[in-house]
């Protein structure tokens, strides 16, 4: 109880500070220096209709490389310290219902296709590699829920993950030689604005990100599934 | 073109990341989990070799850049990504600082990667990937100029760290990792709010653009600045919101700790320093305050630690605190800032990584089990190296940095900061030296062996040797560094002794060392003038004579000679010093050397620690005094002459320096280290430390008083105070000597008392006073060395220092008896020997000065000296011989030779006192022209009377000779008493020592004046130590191990910090 | 009504709620949930900061031509940042849960006060 009172006092202090911050926020009437640069030049320089994607993959490409690295890290850490249970395959788990199994069988391929669609079109419409990858992983969740005893080949995910990661770094390095610097988008021609095959190397990167995120999240999920203890 | 061969720094990131992705292609999982034949050793290590290769290339790139910055005039280079210019794309910067910091990170990453081979084999390729990504992330943190990108790299680093903590894979590590994640999660959340608001108010994410936006002047922008600064500070684990970090230190595998402590701390520190450019002066001040609190708080916590990793964790956090102080005060430090940071950073970096690696080699965190390290003396050597480097002792980089720091801060008038920094350093020294003492002294578990594969010792060796090299580099860079050439050759000889130490027998090393010292004296000291020459005779001449006793030892005596020579180099260096830097380095070298000599004694561990504490405390006072003098003289010079030109703070400077020097002369109140240290030391070390080393403090006082004359503080004349202090020291020192049962302790306390005479006499600030003091210094050396050697010889044979266990040794050890007899006659100031000359002079001086009451105390002290001298000779040599010593032999010849050389010196001086007094008097005239002695041939004439050494000798010998002959004649018919004809008058002695009359010899006196020798001073210092320990023990309860508590502390830190800064 | 400000205020409230959870819940799974709420608050603030009244998404399609972009889209930068932040938050959450699983393996307890081995 005393503890909660302290926490409340602390939160009041923090809240008071946050009040000051929110109070200093007045919205904006126009884009600031950075944003207006992107609004004016993004389409021309990167060739992506989705400006957020242009920023994520190109202008701030290093951040994106960093964030896939974080997912990679998480998967790697989980892999080396989540010990697989030896008795995994002998577990006595109730099978899921017929309904779920059938529906999953139908839906999972569709979900995968949707995921791929989302990351392939990341430079044109809302969505992108992360979103697509997450959708793919959600398909896997469904699969695992419907077939709890299914042994998933996590080695496959690891290979896809490493491959796409390496390819991503390779594209970045290629930018140094073929264009203006690490992760430069213009090593492929920008193409016609608004079409699928446009925006230079950006869609390729986003596909790789999609594959990488999808495989990393899937890898993580299988890892969790293998460690799962049923009573 | 220089540029063309430089590899693009982005490859550091690219190679780091690319390789960790490649590692994913290898079969994953723990290698141990698959013991099947499929996995041969080569396949096991292939991924590891790949990672090491990547780290090598990364290290090479940084090194290449640093090289061209330093030697090829390379200009800083911006690295654009995505082909667009900042602030619209993320850019990296490779400048001199970045090259330096990335090299630090990559090198320790490489070495720790090597070191962790076993661990990685066990954990598999995933751990390798994570480790490599951590190092890559730290590089990114250092190079990026975009604040959100910085956030991403920080996250990479902290997630990777959280992952690597659990490489030890037990529940402790897991819970530590979880707490670490809670805390860093909150911190990065706050950072993110700060960043997004900085973007809102500044319109950019580029650090340089944000700096131009002057966020602190924008209404609301200050919130963003606050959150960014506070979260970066929190990343550096400020006290007391750092329990999560400390737990992580304790839980991590040591190779990872080395990276966290050396590399992560360095990188995060650098981040803070580069982000602070978006703020203004106020935030620098805030950083300094957080830094000093962290420095003091963490070191205080360190005192109570019993686990090496946790203790080093506190020490790491403390060191980062010190770096923060320096960063915060960078404005005030001006041009010296970079040098100071360089020095402190390098020492911390090398030493902390080295010490953590050693923890892994010893394989135990329990400090008291560390004696096992002695199985590998080289590693003990490097451990000492690291600890000395961490504490800022010469010749390591942090010494020069701290020196410059103190001088610059003093010049800027920031004396409080100087005081706090030095105080914190002293606390840090307590636990580090205690630890080192355990290593040197505590018994090792004989069963255990120390496995030291090459890949684990190599990093230690490399960083150990680098510490010396970087120390050399720093010594050249420091102002006045060009005058340090005088140390090179002598220290090279010390290095040579270290190398041959384990191979040559003691007599070879003894001869070499004596020859080297003779050369040193002849080559360096020949040109010395005046009183410096006098001290040179004591230090070097005396040193050589006492070293003759070293021939009595057999075997190799590993770890002795390098330190003996180091001590004498320090002592000699004091005399050669022309500037305060040389002087202070000499002072520290002497302290270091003597510390190791003292701790060699059997039971001397606690005494050596207290010796070190008082010495360091004294050294810091001296440093502070020099700093003030540097500031107060108004000229920016480090010459020793600045003491003569001080215009400000003169009373304070005088006080600091005098107290600093008196820690070595062991004036009452600062003496508690001495008896133990001197008494427990080996038989030839005692004369060195007691007869010679104490004079270093006296020499300091000589320099001080000649330069500054009489000063006063708060209206009180300081020499007057010194006079009282000297008199009281003389009396109490002698009284305590009289009540000792231990012969060497008796002599040690006697030294306390006699240095009291010296201080007393010098305080006169008159010709006769100084003549007394200087002549007495010489005499004290001669008879105290003689006595310690003689008693040392006896102790060597009897294996006990307790006097009542001896007795009647005159027949078995007649030569030693004569030595002691002559020694005590000289000591107690009886005619005809040298001591009498001193007495005569001092009475003249007292009468002339008119300090009658103090003089009275001193003369009582002289009477007490008779008592203990009598006891010394009586109890040991006279009376009944003990059964067990019936067949005891005379002391070894090597011990006797120096004794008889010294006896010869005493005789010479006694016959011809003018040989000593006249030259001293002659040069004293230029400082104290009035009241000089007149010389009439061999006869001294003062205003009060005359005295001739030869005449006194003749008269005394005449009188005593007559009496002796008469006694011998009368005792022809005396009845000899048999050994056991002792009667107890019906009283049954309850304890064996009561059967000896020598036990509690002066019991009646003790009843009368015992209250004077109550260990009040000891209790006082013990009390201080207790208070520190209690505070430490109380405050560390904050770290209750609960993750929520730590989270609470982090948030509380934010709230409190906001109240103090923007509230 | 300024949705930007609403998002920011709601974001701050969510942060406070998240912290409340982190500091008061004994169950480590709930603490992780607290973190998720905390993260959500952060993301709301970021998006709110980039919002401009009456403007549309920063995608240049039939609705917004590249020429009008300057005056008709919201700030794309915070959206890009929030994407990164979400992914990072996801990684952290996943890792925390992995810790929880392992901790539970050792002690069969989800109470955070069972894991105070290292202290002082």
Asked if A107 is an interface residue toward chain B (Cβ–Cβ < 8 A), one would say no
- Tokens 């969740």 appear where? A141
Q: Which of B234, B222, B137 is nearest to B189 (CA)?
A: B234
Domain boundary among B460, B479, B498: B479
Confidence of residue B39 (pLDDT cuts 50, 70, 90): very low
pLDDT tens, position by position, B735-776: 999 888 899 999 999 999 999 989 999 998 888 889 888 888
Strand partners, B92: B79, B144
Q: State whether B766 and B649 are in the same domain.
A: yes
Is residue B638 pLDDT above 60, yes or no?
yes
Query: What are B467's two structure tokens?
Result: 């510490």
Partner-chain contact C103 B174, CB within 8 Å = yes
Q: What angle do CA B373, B376, B377 make, to 5 degrees?
A: 95
Q: What is the mean pLDDT of residues B580-603?
A: 92
Chains with ≥3 Cβ pairs under 8 A against C?
A, B
Note the pLDDT of residue B121: 84
Is residue B806 pLDDT above 60, yes or no?
yes
Residues 268-287 of B with CB under 8 A from A: none
pLDDT tens, position by position, B1052-1062: 999 999 888 88
- Identify all chain A residues contacting C88, using CB atoms and an 8 Å cutoff: 67, 70
Q: State whether B499 and B641 are in the same domain.
A: yes
- Tokens 């009595």 appear where? B552
Q: State whether B603 and B711 are in the same domain.
A: yes
Distance from CA of C52 to the nearest CA of B (A): 12
> 3-state DSSP call for residue B802?
strand
For B29, name the nearest residue in chain A, comparing CA atoms only: A80
| Average predicted confidence (pLDDT) for chain B | 88
pLDDT tens, position by position, A32-85: 888 888 888 887 787 888 888 888 888 888 898 898 899 889 988 888 777 655
Asked if B93 is an interface residue toward chain A (Cβ–Cβ < 8 A), one would say no
**Contact call for residues B407 and B356 (beta carbons, < 8 A):** no
Q: State whether B632 and B526 are in the same domain.
A: yes
**Contact call for residues B169 and A80 (beta carbons, < 8 A):** no
Q: What is the mean pLDDT of residues B281-307?
A: 92
Q: Does B136 map to a domain?
A: yes
Is residue B1 pLDDT above 50, yes or no?
no
Chains with ≥3 Cβ pairs under 8 A against A?
B, C
Max mean pLDDT among B8-12, B155-159, B857-861, C64-68 falls in: B155-159
Q: Which residues of B touch C (CB under 8 A)?
A: 148, 152, 155, 159, 162-163, 166, 171-172, 174-179, 181-182, 185-186, 189, 192-193, 195-197, 199-200, 205, 243, 247, 250-251, 304, 310, 1036-1037, 1039-1044, 1047-1048, 1051
Query: What are B50's two structure tokens?
Result: 């790949």
Distance, CA of B467 to CA of B630 (rounded, Å): 28
Domains identified in chain B, total number: 4
CA distances from B440 to B464, B602, B647, B689 (A): 18, 11, 46, 19
Q: Does B1009 map to a domain?
A: no
Q: Does B1010 map to a domain?
A: no
What letter does residue B638 receive in the DSSP assignment? Answer: -
Partner-chain contact A14 C69, CB within 8 Å = no
Confidence of residue A90 (pLDDT cuts 50, 70, 90): low
Q: Does B986 map to a domain?
A: no
Confidence of residue B886 (pLDDT cuts 50, 70, 90): confident
Looking at chain B, the whole-number percentage of residues with pLDDT higher than 90 is 48
Among the partner residues C23, C92, C106, nearest to B171 by beta-carbon distance: C106
Interface test with C, best of A5, A22, A31, A54 (most C CBs within 10 A): A31
Looking at chain B, the whole-number percentage of residues with pLDDT higher than 70 is 96
Note the pLDDT of residue B728: 92
Chains A & C: contacts with CB separation below 8 Å: 152
Looking at chain A, the whole-number percentage of residues with pLDDT higher than 70 is 93
Is residue A231 pLDDT above 50, yes or no?
no
Partner-chain contact A158 B152, CB within 8 Å = no
Distance from CA of B239 to the nearest CA of C (A): 13
CA distances from A185 to A45, A163, A224, B168 (A): 9, 20, 37, 42
CA–centroid distance for C77 within its chain: 17
Residues 6+ apart with CB under 8 A from B990: none
Q: Does B706 map to a domain?
A: yes
Q: What is the mean pLDDT of residues B861-871?
A: 87
Asked if A93 is an interface residue toward chain B (Cβ–Cβ < 8 A), one would say no
Among the partner residues C24, C53, C59, nearest to A4 by beta-carbon distance: C24
**Contact call for residues B147 and B207 (beta carbons, < 8 A):** yes
Confidence of residue B45 (pLDDT cuts 50, 70, 90): confident
Range with the poorest average pLDDT among B25-29, B434-438, B462-466, B820-824: B25-29
Among the partner residues C84, C92, C115, nearest to B185 by beta-carbon distance: C92
Q: At what angle do helices B308-328 and B337-362 cross, to 10 degrees?
A: 170
Interface test with C, best of A11, A13, A16, A39 (most C CBs within 10 A): A39
- Identify all chain B residues contacting A163, using CB atoms and an 8 Å cutoff: 25
Note the pLDDT of residue A160: 85
Q: What angle do CA A85, A86, A92 make, to 5 degrees?
A: 80
pLDDT tens, position by position, B990-1039: 666 666 777 777 888 888 787 877 788 888 888 988 999 999 888 888 88
Distance, CA of B905 to CA of A29 (rounded, Å): 96
- Identify all chain A residues contacting B14, using CB atoms and an 8 Å cutoff: 169, 172-173, 182
Note the pLDDT of residue B299: 94
Is residue B565 pLDDT above 90, yes or no?
yes
Distance, CA of B185 to CA of B190 (rounded, Å): 9
- Identify all chain A residues contacting C21, using CB atoms and an 8 Å cutoff: none
pLDDT tens, position by position, A189-202: 777 777 777 778 88
Distance, CA of B90 to CA of B69 (rounded, Å): 23
Note the pLDDT of residue B291: 95
* H or E, element range at B550: none
Q: What is the mean pLDDT of residues A175-197?
A: 77
Q: State whether B263 and B295 are in the same domain.
A: no
For B130, name the nearest residue in chain A, comparing CA atoms only: A73
Q: State whether B90 and B231 are in the same domain.
A: no
Among the partner residues A31, A71, A82, nearest to C91 by beta-carbon distance: A71
Q: Which of B958, B911, B962 is nearest to B937 (CA)?
A: B911
**Contact call for residues B395 and B460 (beta carbons, < 8 A):** no
| ipTM of the predicted assembly exceeds 0.85 | yes
Note the pLDDT of residue A83: 65
CA–centroid distance for B734 within its chain: 30
Tell me how many helices (H) and strands (E) chain B has: 43, 7
Q: What is the mean pLDDT of residues C44-68?
A: 83
Q: Does B979 map to a domain?
A: no
Note the pLDDT of residue A57: 85
Q: State whether B503 and B401 are in the same domain.
A: no
Query: What are B200's two structure tokens?
Result: 């809102």
Note the pLDDT of residue B775: 87
Among the partner residues B14, B21, B163, nearest to A162 by beta-carbon distance: B21
* H or E, element range at B941: strand B939-941
Q: State whether B442 and B305 are in the same domain.
A: yes
Range with the poorest average pLDDT among B76-85, B89-98, B390-399: B76-85
Distance from CA of B185 to the nearest CA of A (A): 14
Is residue A167 pLDDT above 90, yes or no?
no
Note the pLDDT of residue B985: 58
Partner-chain contact B193 A34, CB within 8 Å = no
Q: State whether B91 and B76 are in the same domain.
A: yes
Q: What is the mean pLDDT of residues B162-170?
A: 83
Distance from CA of C32 to the nearest CA of B (A): 9
Confidence of residue B350 (pLDDT cuts 50, 70, 90): very high
Q: Which domain holds residue B837?
A: 481-964
Asked if B198 is an interface residue toward chain A (Cβ–Cβ < 8 A), one would say no
**Contact call for residues B439 and B373 (beta carbons, < 8 A):** yes
The structure's pTM equals: 0.92
**Contact call for residues B157 and B265 (beta carbons, < 8 A):** no
**Contact call for residues B366 and B490 (beta carbons, < 8 A):** no
- Identify all chain B residues contacting C102, using CB atoms and an 8 Å cutoff: 166, 174
Q: Does B982 map to a domain?
A: no
Partner-chain contact B205 C107, CB within 8 Å = no
Partner-chain contact A6 B1055, CB within 8 Å = no
Asked if A39 is an interface residue toward chain B (Cβ–Cβ < 8 A), one would say no
Domain boundary among B145, B165, B181: B145
Q: What is the mean pLDDT of residues B228-250?
A: 91
Q: State whether B647 and B557 are in the same domain.
A: yes
Distance, CA of B210 to CA of B280 (rounded, Å): 12
Note the pLDDT of residue B314: 94
Q: State whether B301 and B177 are in the same domain.
A: no
> 3-state DSSP call for residue B947?
strand
Domain boundary among B433, B460, B479: B479
Residues 6+ apart with CB under 8 A from B913: B775, B834, B837, B938, B940, B949
User: What residue ranges define each of the domains in chain C, with the CATH number in brackets?
Assistant: 3-56+71-114 (1.10.287.3510)
Range with the poorest average pLDDT among A201-205, B136-140, B338-342: A201-205
CA distances from B1048 to A33, A226, B175, B186, B1051 (A): 38, 35, 17, 10, 5
* H or E, element range at B94: strand B91-94
Query: What are B732's two structure tokens?
Result: 């109490």
Is residue A230 pLDDT above 80, yes or no?
no
Residues 6+ apart with CB under 8 A from C17: C37, C41
Partner-chain contact B159 C92, CB within 8 Å = yes
- Distance between start and end Cα atoms, chain C: 52
Partner-chain contact B174 C35, CB within 8 Å = no
> 3-state DSSP call for residue B365?
coil
Interface test with A, best of B81, B145, B169 (most A CBs within 10 A): B81
**Contact call for residues B783 and B768 (beta carbons, < 8 A):** no
Q: Does B435 map to a domain?
A: yes
H-type alpha helices, B691-813: 694-708, 718-738, 743-763, 767-798
Is residue B386 pLDDT above 70, yes or no?
yes
pLDDT tens, position by position, B978-1002: 555 555 555 666 666 666 777 777 8
Is residue B32 pLDDT above 60, yes or no?
no
- Identify all chain A residues contacting B1051, using CB atoms and an 8 Å cutoff: 10, 14
Asked if C108 is an interface residue toward chain B (Cβ–Cβ < 8 A), one would say no
Strand partners, C27: C111
């Amino acid at each position: 109880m005393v503890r909660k009172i302290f926490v409340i006092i602390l939160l009041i202090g923090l809240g008071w500070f946050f009040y000051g911050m929110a109070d200093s926020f007045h919205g904006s009437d126009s884009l600031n220096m950075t944003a207006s640069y992107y609004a004016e030049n993004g389409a021309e320089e990167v060739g992506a209709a989705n400006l957020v994607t242009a920023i994520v993959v190109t202008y701030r490409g290093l951040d994106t490389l960093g964030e896939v690295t974080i997912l990679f890290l998480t998967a790697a850490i989980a892999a080396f310290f989540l010990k697989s249970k030896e008795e995994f395959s002998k577990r006595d788990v109730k099978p899921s219902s017929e309904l779920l199994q059938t529906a999953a069988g139908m839906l999972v391929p569709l979900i995968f296709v949707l995921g791929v669609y989302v990351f392939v079109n990341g430079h044109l419409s809302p969505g992108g590699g992360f979103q697509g990858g997450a959708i793919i992983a959600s398909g896997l969740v469904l699969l695992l829920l419907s077939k709890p005893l299914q042994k998933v080949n996590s080695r496959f995910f690891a290979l896809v993950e490493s491959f796409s990661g390496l390819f991503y770094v390779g594209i970045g390095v290629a930018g140094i030689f073929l264009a203006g610097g690490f992760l430069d988008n213009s090593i492929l021609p920008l193409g016609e604005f608004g079409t699928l095959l446009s925006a230079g190397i950006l869609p390729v990167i986003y596909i790789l990100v999609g594959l990488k995120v999808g495989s990393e999240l899937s890898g993580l999920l299988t890892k969790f599934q293998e460690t799962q203890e049923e009573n | 073109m220089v540029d063309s061969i430089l590899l693009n720094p982005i490859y550091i990131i690219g190679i780091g990341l690319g390789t960790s992705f490649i590692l994913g292609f290898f079969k994953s999982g723990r290698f141990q989990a698959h013991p099947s034949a499929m996995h041969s050793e080569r396949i096991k290590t292939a991924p590891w070799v790949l990672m090491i290769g990547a780290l090598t290339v990364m290290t090479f790139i940084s090194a290449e850049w640093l090289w061209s910055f330093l030697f090829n005039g390379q200009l800083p280079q911006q690295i654009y990504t995505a082909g667009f210019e900042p602030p619209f794309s993320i850019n990296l910067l490779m400048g001199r600082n970045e090259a330096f910091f990335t090299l630090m990170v990559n090198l320790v990453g490489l070495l720790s990667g090597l070191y962790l081979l076993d661990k990685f084999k066990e954990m598999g390729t995933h751990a390798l990937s994570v480790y490599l990504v951590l190092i890559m992330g730290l590089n990114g943190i250092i190079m990026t100029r975009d604040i959100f990108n910085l956030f991403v790299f920080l996250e990479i680093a902290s997630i990777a760290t959280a992952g690597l903590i659990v490489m030890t894979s037990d529940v402790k590590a897991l819970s530590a990792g979880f707490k670490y994640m809670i805390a860093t999660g909150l911190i990065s959340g706050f950072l993110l709010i700060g960043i997004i608001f900085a973007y809102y108010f500044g319109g950019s994410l580029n650090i340089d653009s944000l700096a131009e936006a002057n966020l602190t002047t924008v209404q609301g922008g200050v919130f963003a600045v606050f959150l960014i600064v506070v979260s970066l500070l929190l990343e550096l684990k400020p006290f007391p919101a750092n329990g999560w970090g400390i737990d992580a230190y304790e839980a991590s595998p040591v190779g990872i700790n080395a990276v966290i402590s050396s590399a992560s701390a360095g990188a995060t520190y650098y981040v803070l320093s580069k982000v602070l450019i978006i703020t203004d002066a106020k935030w620098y001040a805030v950083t300094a305050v957080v830094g000093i609190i962290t420095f003091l708080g963490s070191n205080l916590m360190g005192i109570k630690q019993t686990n090496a990793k946790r203790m080093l964790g506190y020490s790491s956090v403390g060191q980062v605190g010190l770096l923060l102080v320096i960063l915060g005060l960078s404005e005030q430090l001006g041009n010296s800032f970079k040098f100071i940071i360089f020095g402190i950073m390098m020492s911390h970096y090398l030493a902390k990584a080295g010490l953590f690696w050693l923890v892994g080699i010893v394989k135990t965190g329990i400090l008291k089990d560390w004696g096992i390290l002695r199985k590998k003396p080289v590693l003990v050597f490097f451990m000492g190296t690291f600890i000395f480097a961490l504490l800022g002792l010469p010749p390591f980089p942090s010494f020069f940095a701290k020196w410059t720091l103190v001088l610059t801060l003093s010049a800027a008038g920031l004396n409080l900061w100087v005081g706090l920094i030095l105080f914190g350093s002293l606390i840090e020294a307590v636990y580090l030296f205690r630890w080192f003492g355990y290593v040197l002294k505590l018994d090792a578990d004989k069963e255990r062996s120390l496995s030291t594969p090459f890949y684990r010792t190599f990093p230690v060796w490399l960083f150990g040797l680098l510490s010396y090299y970087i120390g050399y580099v720093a010594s050249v860079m420091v102002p006045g560094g060009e005058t340090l050439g005088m140390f090179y050759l002598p220290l090279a000889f010390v290095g040579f002794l270290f190398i041959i130490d384990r191979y040559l027998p003691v007599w070879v090393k003894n001869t070499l060392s004596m020859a080297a010292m003779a050369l040193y004296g002849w080559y360096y000291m020949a040109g010395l003038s005046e009183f410096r020459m006098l001290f040179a005779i004591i230090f070097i001449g005396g040193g050589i004579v006492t070293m003759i006793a070293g021939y009595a030892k057999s075997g190799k005596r590993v770890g002795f000679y390098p330190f003996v020579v180091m001590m004498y180099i320090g002592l000699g260096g004091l005399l050669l010093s022309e500037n305060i830097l040389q002087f202070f380095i000499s002072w520290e070298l002497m302290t270091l050397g003597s510390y190791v000599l003292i701790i060699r004694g059997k039971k001397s561990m606690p005494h050596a620690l207290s010796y070190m504490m008082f010495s360091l405390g004294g050294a810091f006072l001296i440093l502070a005094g020099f700093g003030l003098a540097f500031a107060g003289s108004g000229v920016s010079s480090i010459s020793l002459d600045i003491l003569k030109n001080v215009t400000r703070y003169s009373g304070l400077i005088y006080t600091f320096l005098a107290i600093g020097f008196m820690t070595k002369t062991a004036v009452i109140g600062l003496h508690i280290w001495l008896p133990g240290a001197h008494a427990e030391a080996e038989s030839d070390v005692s004369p060195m430390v007691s007869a010679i080393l104490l004079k270093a403090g006296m020499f300091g006082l000589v320099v001080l008083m000649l330069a500054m004359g009489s000063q006063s503080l708060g209206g009180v004349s300081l020499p007057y105070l010194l006079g009282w202090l000297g008199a009281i020291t003389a009396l109490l020192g002698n009284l305590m000597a009289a009540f000792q049962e231990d012969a060497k302790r008796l002599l040690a306390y006697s030294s306390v008392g006699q240095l009291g005479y010296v201080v007393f006499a010098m305080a006169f600030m008159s010709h006769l006073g100084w003549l007394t003091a200087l002549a007495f210094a010489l005499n004290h050396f001669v008879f105290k060395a003689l006595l310690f050697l003689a008693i040392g010889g006896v102790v060597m044979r009897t294996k006990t220092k307790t006097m009542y266990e001896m007795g009647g040794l005159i027949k078995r050890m007649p030569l030693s008896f004569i030595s002691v007899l002559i020694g005590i006659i000289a000591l107690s100031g009886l005619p005809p020997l040298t001591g009498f000359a001193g007495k005569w002079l001092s009475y003249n001086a007292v009468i002339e000065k008119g300090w009658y009451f103090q003089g009275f105390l001193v003369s009582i002290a002289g009477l007490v000296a008779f008592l203990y001298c009598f006891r010394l000779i009586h109890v040991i040599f006279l009376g009944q011989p003990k059964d067990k010593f019936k067949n005891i032999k005379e002391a070894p010849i090597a011990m006797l030779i120096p004794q008889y050389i010294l006896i010869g010196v005493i005789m010479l001086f006694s016959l011809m006192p003018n040989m000593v007094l006249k030259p001293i008097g002659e040069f004293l005239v230029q400082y104290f022209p009035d009241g000089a002695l007149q010389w009439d041939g061999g006869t001294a004439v003062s205003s009060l009377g005359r005295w001739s050494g030869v005449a006194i000798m003749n008269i005394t010998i005449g009188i005593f000779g007559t009496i002796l002959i008469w006694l011998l004649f009368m005792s022809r018919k005396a009845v000899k008493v048999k050994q056991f004809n002792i009667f107890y008058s019906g009283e049954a002695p309850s304890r064996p020592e009561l059967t000896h009359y020598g036990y509690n010899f002066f019991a009646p006196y003790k009843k009368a004046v015992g209250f004077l020798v109550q260990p009040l001073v000891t209790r006082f210092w013990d009390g201080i130590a207790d208070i520190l320990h209690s505070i430490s023990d109380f405050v560390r309860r904050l770290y209750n191990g609960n993750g929520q508590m730590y989270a609470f502390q982090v948030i509380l830190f934010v709230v409190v910090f906001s109240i103090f800064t923007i509230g | 009504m300024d949705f930007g400000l609403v998002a920011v205020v709601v974001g701050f409230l969510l942060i406070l709620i998240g912290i409340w959870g982190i500091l008061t819940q004994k169950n480590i799974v709930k603490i992780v949930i607290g973190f998720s709420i905390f993260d959500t608050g952060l993301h709301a603030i970021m998006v709110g900061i980039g919002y401009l009244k009456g403007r549309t998404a920063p995608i240049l399609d039939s609705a917004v031509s590249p020429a009008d972009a300057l005056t008709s889209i919201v700030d794309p930068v915070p959206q890009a940042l929030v994407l990164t932040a979400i992914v990072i938050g996801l990684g952290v959450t996943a890792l925390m849960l992995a810790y929880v699983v392992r901790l539970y393996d050792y002690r069969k307890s989800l109470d955070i006060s069972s894991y105070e081995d290292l202290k002082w």
